[in-house]
Structure 1
Amino acid sequence: MKQEWTPVDPRYTHYLQLHALVAMGVIAIVIAVQYFIARWGAVLPAWFWSFGIWAAITLLLLLLWAPRRFMYTGYCVTDDLLLLRQGALWRAQRGVPFNRIQHVEVKESLFARLFGLASVVIYTAGSQGADLEVPGLRKADAEAIQHRLLNEMAQQEFEGEGDDI
């Protein structure tokens, strides 16, 4: 059986780019503050400018990485399994069978809300945290997946009650 992969929302690329820019901006601010505290008013040394070039190259790589990560991120919902594939350089494919799902929630971070995105977080039996998180979904799609999984859980619970008789 061939799996039909559903791509995440294209705005996920912009979300990843913003996330990378903020992270690199925080790193740059921390380094600059540390430098100016240590050498108040001194002229910046050559290594600092070299680091600046390195940071610019890193930002470019992150901006190229985000579209690639988007391109390989997708999910597939079968009759009894939810699959997720992710990766830019290293790719992974993970799945959770419906009968192991304990709890499903829709999560929206601050940056995700800026782009109208959400994630579906799936918790399974016997795990310490979320076993699977499908990122970069439109909120309506995330809620639809959540409702489908909850319905599957309820259906399995109903079928399980008939076995006791």
Structure 2
Amino acid sequence: MENFTNEIIDTKQLPKFEEVQLTALHPKYWYEIIINTTVVFLVLGIILGVVWYKSDEFATSAIYFIIAYFVILIFSFLLKRIGFNKKGYAFRNHDVIYRSGIIATNTMVIPYNRVQHVALHEGFISRYFGLAKVEIFTAGGSSSDIEISGIEKEEAENIKQLLMGKIQKQL
């Protein structure tokens, strides 16, 4: 019979995911973000403009409405740019790392042995720029655990093949 041991692990000697060099999202993804945000703000601006035009306060509040709309628009683009710059990913021998967040940084580390399913998606605008999104699913959830958007399509396909190979080895 084996002797049971339960040694203490020196947590200072564990590898640090913070030191991993993450890959930034493809620069063309920023253009996709600009287009998507612009479309949303155009539609929102048209709807609000029509509602506001039909109201009794049209003439007196026009300048305030326009200023507020553009301040929110600029603030939105600023936040999206900061978020774009903070996102990154890395694939290591045993896990995948994804970092995101604007105010608080969220770093997810998922070991390959937890990956259940991988999906690759291309939206209309993503396809135009040659980009794709990789979604990584683990057990116990109906939505993906990690969504990495803004990856060149060829690289996204390679990532999907890598992860599918890791899943097959587990079976």
Band the TM-score falls in, shorter-chain normalisation? 0.7 to 0.9
Work out whether 1:74 is the aligned partner of 2:100: no
The alignment's TM-score, normalised by the length of structure 2, stands at 0.81
Question: In structure 2, what is the Cα distance between the partners aligned to 1:43 and 1:50?
Answer: 11
Query: What does residue 52 of structure 2 align with?
Result: 35
Q: Deviations over 1:119-161 (max 9, x none)?
A: 101111111211111111111111111111011111222xxxx
Query: What does residue 135 of structure 2 align with?
Result: 121
Query: Which letter maps to 1:22?
Result: V
Q: Is the 8 A contact 1:10 1:70 kept in 2?
A: no
Following superposition, which runs of at least 4 residues in structure 1 exceed 3 angstroms of deviation?
Answer: none
Query: What does residue 11 of structure 1 align with?
Result: 28
Query: Which letter maps to 1:117?
Result: L
Question: Per the alignment, do residues 14 and 89 of structure 1 end up closer, same or farther by CA in structure 2, a change over 3 Å counting?
Answer: farther
CA-CA distance at 1:107 after TM superposition: 0.7
CA-CA distance at 1:104 after TM superposition: 0.4
Identity, % of aligned positions: 27
Query: Which letter maps to 1:21?
Result: T
Question: In structure 1, what is the Cα distance between the partners aligned to 2:127 and 2:51?
Answer: 32
Question: In structure 2, what is the Cα distance between the partners aligned to 1:91 and 1:47?
Answer: 39
Greater alpha carbon shift after TM alignment, 1-10 vs 140-149: 1-10
CA-CA distance at 1:64 after TM superposition: 2.5
CA-CA distance at 1:43 after TM superposition: 8.2
Query: What does residue 62 of structure 1 align with?
Result: 76
Question: Per the alignment, do residues 46 and 114 of structure 1 end up closer, same or farther by CA in structure 2, a change over 3 Å counting?
Answer: farther
Q: Which runs of 5+ in 1 are unaligned?
A: 158-165
Query: What does residue 43 of structure 2 align with?
Result: 26
Query: What does residue 101 of structure 1 align with?
Result: 115
The alignment's TM-score, normalised by the length of structure 1, stands at 0.84
Question: In structure 2, what is the Cα distance between the partners aligned to 1:90 and 1:109?
Answer: 28
Q: Is the 8 A contact 1:118 1:136 kept in 2?
A: yes
CA-CA distance at 1:67 after TM superposition: 2.7
CA-CA distance at 1:56 after TM superposition: 0.9
Q: Deviations over 1:88-117 (max 9, x none)?
A: 333211122211111101111122223221
Question: In structure 1, what is the Cα distance between the partners aligned to 2:27 and 2:137?
Answer: 26
